[in-house]
């Protein structure tokens, strides 16, 4: 039967000291944030092409004054932009002023954008400080190694110096192991939120300017 051997892990913690322990904690935090954001983005349908198709259909229906069909299409989607458009259509039917309606739509869109960007700053900080912590651990380890070298006097065992350097470089490697995936995930998440912001701005603009296209017969399209 296969058994998990955790002795090497505890040995690395012992050799690396508190720096390794801090990096382990940061790696757990970064992993947790990544999983939570993936679930959140998936729930918001940021990866779904069908969500963009629903919004495009709703905008086209609005251009044709088919508000009922637009609402039906938006209800079928749970994406943040669909919720924004549902709010706009609902308030417009209540004869809300266009200026106030635009402000409310922008407020709701900004709220959803802020929710998507939550915790990303923490992931960015982890990506930035992990290599620095690794370097700090290396510097501390090198200082310790050279102190042992000095205490050895005239007769110095090369194993003492090489062993100290190996232990020192361990923290640098650990810092990079934490920083590289954290950096990749942060930049990918930021790209997703930037795309959402651009799409939201485009959709909101089309929501309040769709009447300009009625006479020309042009259909509005969602820019992806």
Q: Which two tokens stand for residue 85?
A: 């458009």
Give the Cα separation of 26 and 145 in Å (integer): 26
Q: What is the pLDDT of residue 126?
A: 96
State pLDDT tens for residues 13-50: 666 678 888 999 999 999 999 999 999 988 887 766 67
pLDDT of residue 13: 60
Task: Please report which residue ranges of the chain form alpha helices under DSSP H.
Answer: 7-16, 18-43, 49-63, 67-75, 80-93, 98-117, 120-151, 158-209
- Give the closest residue to 137 by CA, choosing from 186, 178, 181: 178
Q: How far apart are CA 183 and CA 19, in angstroms?
A: 20
Helix axes 67-75, 49-63, angle to 10 degrees: 170
How far is the CA of 198 from the CAs of 132, 144, 165, 223, 224, in angstroms? 34, 52, 49, 8, 9
pTM of the model: 0.76
Gap between the Cα atoms of 134 and 178, Å rounded: 10
- Cα–Cα distance between 165 and 210 in angstroms, integer? 67
Q: How far is CA 24 from CA 132, 136, 169, 181, in A?
A: 14, 15, 16, 14
Distance (Å) of CA 160 to CA 72, 147, 202: 74, 10, 64
Q: What are phi and psi of 77, to 5 degrees?
A: -115, 140
pLDDT of residue 21: 87
| Sites in the chain below the pLDDT cut of 70 | 1-16, 47-49, 149, 151-164, 210-224
164 vs 153: CA distance, rounded Å: 16
What is the distance of C-alpha 20 from the center of its chain? 25
pLDDT recorded at residue 147 = 75
């Amino acid at each position: 039967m296969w058994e998990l051997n955790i002795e090497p892990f505890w040995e690395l913690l012992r050799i690396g000291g508190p720096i390794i322990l801090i990096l382990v904690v940061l790696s757990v935090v970064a992993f947790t944030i990544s999983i939570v954001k993936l679930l959140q983005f998936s729930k918001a349908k940021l990866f779904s092409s069908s969500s963009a198709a629903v919004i495009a259909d709703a905008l086209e229906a609005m251009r044709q004054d088919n508000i009922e069909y637009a609402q039906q299409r938006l209800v079928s989607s749970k994406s943040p932009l669909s919720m924004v458009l549902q709010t706009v259509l609902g308030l417009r039917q209540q004869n809300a002023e266009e200026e106030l309606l635009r402000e409310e739509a922008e407020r709701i869109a900004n709220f959803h954008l802020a929710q998507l960007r939550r915790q990303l700053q923490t992931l960015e900080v982890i990506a930035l400080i992990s290599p620095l912590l690794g370097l700090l651990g290396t510097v501390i380890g090198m200082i310790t190694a050279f102190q042992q070298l000095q205490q050895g006097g005239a007769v110095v065992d090369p194993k003492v110096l090489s062993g100290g350097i190996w232990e020192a470089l361990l923290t640098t490697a650990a810092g990079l192991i934490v920083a590289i995936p954290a950096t990749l995930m942060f930049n990918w998440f930021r790209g997703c939120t930037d795309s959402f912001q651009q799409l939201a701005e485009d959709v909101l603009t089309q929501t309040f300017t769709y009447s300009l296209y009625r006479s020309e017969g042009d259909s509005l399209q969602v820019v992806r």
